[in-house]
Structure 1
């Protein structure tokens, strides 16, 4: 008995020493840079489907650390404005509001805190740079639709790198002011490659949002990975480090359209951006990557239609989004069989042809047929309130383990970066 007790005491001493050492390591984790990557609309169902679509684990899978709750201040189901605000400010707000409390006061953001502490800052998105998620990090408006008022705030907040769509929200006078503030304006992929890293960058690659990844080859727009790489190239020159938010914004849009192929290809493009960020973090050793969607969109499911099966391989043959395919139909949609064969590889039945010809929105009929053939289910064209996975890599990544509130994410990042910031308010 004495031998057992002695052995136990030795084991306990070793174990507690290990825990103490681990705790010290966690406390001493040095986070100079944070890359916060947001696959908008992404949830566990998308992660599962993408794994089947890809045929192997995703790069994100090995970084999985926990989950987070997405509800807003006034609803169990958040929108991107309230979700983005929570992830940018550490505080809940009502749906539709951008970095503004339900009472109307402005909420300081982690990006603004990073800049106030001498760090470089950047926002990258495949939507408009003035859309809900990027806007929540560097502007304050009561209504997310006020993009024309968001645009000048991005410039006045002196965000070092702004890359995305939304040129129509930047007036000529605002673009002139941006240049006076030291921004170099770029409008296509080639110009982005030639930017000077010592100057601020305003990249506006489309009047509205960028093209879905499936259709991007028809444009001269950069990929999300291209934009992420250029943003890092610029921001890594900052002596005090940087905060960069990268959004794969059209996973959400694909969910709204119930377009599974659009979703898979934009997740693939997002994963390529993650690869760029991870390579930098591995080399730098002082960079934390956090990945978390802001909510689920579409009520996506792997399998459906009363069958114990999935047929995601169908998606690999589809060459365009449902919207693009619908645009190829003639006025009476009588060419639906030929168009669908060309862009999806599917041979339509007479019933499926009728569905496309009689649908109020041809793109939704196209997406429904593709989804059903792939045995992918959808419950809505809107958001849902399910919890969303959190991934992390780099120093401090263990701090994100378990079930978090979405408001916890920026609080933990700020603490790890040792930012002076009032996240404790209303906690």
Structure 2
């Protein structure tokens, strides 16, 4: 008899707790913060080692540091090491896919992206990158294609889905007759006819007005930040600011993707100075976005990498410590320095002295002279001087940090899979994402 009463009591208490939790969940859902705008910022190839080395390089905390909320798992459907296409597809659609695939699952089905869901709700949308705008990350949020190599097919899809497009990759929008890669279509002219304001250098960008904007500042990827001063290209901060300025005119709000693409490029070349300088450019863009979000009060800013590149370390070469001052003195990328070498590389000491403030030893001079390719050898010497180690020229599979500020930022706390991100963004925007429904 006592056992029956005890069971009844436990069941009754369980029912009360269940009802309480259900009601609390309803109240929490109803009270969930709502953002009008989302700015998703991706430092391609970034990880905690980049974060630490950059803090040493800058001599202060980054604009991201105060807003660290968690970590994100990055693996692809077919590999523990993802590429940008698969990682961005996961962050855009909520589905894992194979490396190289864009906006589609391994079975070839196109999946709705969070950018498309925002657009369906009347929001303006934008893409900013320092790579070709048709590259893996921006492509995965704005197109559906079986291979990331099909940039010719990606470009027209982006024009259909984004109101602001800023980055490199002009050749993918022009016909072969004008030196481009499109067979016959002139997508820039088509964009102009459909209401886009067309710009192709920094001055034109800064003077641009209006809601729809297409700016393609290089035929391929844009210049590294170390080398940008010899071009007429805008900075990532300037592109981000102009994108916000254009998109905020939409009364329904906006979704903006900003990629600091060159961090990844630097990692692939093991160019530590390039990585730090482009992280500085990215940090300045994040600072601008955060300033806008603080003033606006209705904007969620999320910063998260897609994967780590290079396996950078803080310290190395059998020594204890770090020498960020070495990287602070470098004023050109390893590729730029290699381009300044004469045919027999007899001026290598002068080039490293001029562009890296490094006096080469005889052994280092010989190493660069005898290397099959000069650039990797130059980068290796600079990294060793700065005590920045590398383990690969490819990606690694480590978790990456995520930062968030603004309405709904608490939803991003903890350890997440990259497939969680579009669902959390949709929840914050209070829009119907449809679970990454098949297109």
TM-score range, shorter chain: over 0.9
Distance 2:236 2:173 in 1: 21
Question: After superposition, what is the alpha-carbon deviation per residue over 1:98-147, rounded to whole angstroms, capped at 9, x for unaligned?
Answer: 00110001011011111111000000000001000000011111110111
**1:26 and 1:339 mapped to 2: Cα distance?**
62
Instruction: Check the 8 A contact 1:302/1:375 in 2, yes or no.
Output: yes
Equivalents in 2 of 1:320, 1:185: separation in Å?
A: 30
* Residue in 2 that maps onto 1:144: 148
Match of 2:207 among 182, 187, 194: 194
Q: TM-score normalised to the size of structure 1?
A: 0.93
The aligned counterpart of 1:28 is 32
- 1 CA distance for matches of 2:437 and 2:230? 48
Are residue 260 (structure 1) and residue 260 (structure 2) matched?
Answer: no
In 2, Cα distance between the equivalents of 1:165 and 1:24?
43
- Match for residue 10 of structure 2? none
Task: List gaps (5 residues or longer) in structure 2.
Answer: 1-19, 176-185
Rate the CA distance shift 1:26–1:61 in 2: closer, same or farther, 3 A.
Answer: farther
CA distance in 2, matches of 1:98, 1:331: 41
Matching residue within 58, 66, 72 for 2:70: 66
2:336 aligns with 324
Measure the CA separation in 2 of the matches of 1:175 and 1:229: 22
Q: Deviations over 1:292-324 (max 9, x none)?
A: 000000010001112222112211011100000
CA shift, 1:396, in A, is 0.7
Consecutive unaligned residues in structure 1, runs of 5 or more: 1-15
RMSD: 1.6
- Residue 421 (structure 1) shift: 1.6
CA drift of 1:189 comes to: 0.6
Q: Deviations over 1:4-26 (max 9, x none)?
A: xxxxxxxxxxxx9xxx89x8599
The answer to whether the aligner puts 1:75 opposite 2:79 as a matched pair is yes
Number of the residue aligned with 1:165: 168
2:288 alignment partner, SS class: helix
What is residue 8 of structure 1 aligned with on the other side?
none
Instruction: Give the structure 1 partner of residue 287 of structure 2.
Output: 275
Deviations 1:165-190 (CA, angstroms, capped at 9, x unpaired): 00011124222211111111110011
1:26–1:396: 8 Å Cα contact kept in structure 2?
no
**Partner Cα distance (1:26, 1:312) in 2:** 48
How far residue 425 of structure 1 moved from its aligned partner, in angstroms, is 6.2
Q: Deviations over 1:241-282 (max 9, x none)?
A: 000000000100000000000000000000110011011100
Q: Does 1:228 align with 2:231?
A: no
Runs of 4+ that moved beyond 4 A: 23-26
Q: In structure 1, what is the equivalent of residue 93 of structure 2? A: 89
What do residues 53-85 of structure 1 show as CA deviations (whole Å, max 9, x unaligned)? 011111110010000000000000000000110
* Shift in Å, 1:410: 1.2
Deviation per residue, 1:317-345 (Å, 9 max, x gap): 11100000001100000100011001111
The one of 195, 209, 222 equivalent to 1:210 is 222
* 2:377 partner SS: helix
CA contact (8 A) 2:34 2:407 kept: yes
Distance (Å, rounded) in 1 between the aligned partners of 2:322 and 2:92 = 37
Residue deviations 1:330-378, cap 9 Å, x none? 0000100011001111100011011111111101000000000111110
Provide the secondary structure at the position in 2 that maps to 1:107: coil
* Whole-Å separation in 2 of the counterparts to 1:203 and 1:30: 31
Relative to structure 1, the CA distance from residue 424 to residue 211 in structure 2 (aligned partners, 3 Å threshold; closer, same or farther) is: closer
Q: Residue 393 of structure 1 aligns with which residue?
A: 405
Does the Cα contact within 8 Å between 2:112 and 2:437 map onto a contact in 1?
no
Specify which of 94, 99, 102 is matched with residue 98 of structure 1: 102
The answer for the alignment partner of 1:38 in structure 2 is 42
The 1:145/1:51 distance shift into structure 2, 3 A limit, reads: same
Question: 2:16 maps to which residue?
Answer: none
Residue in 1 aligned with 2:231?
219
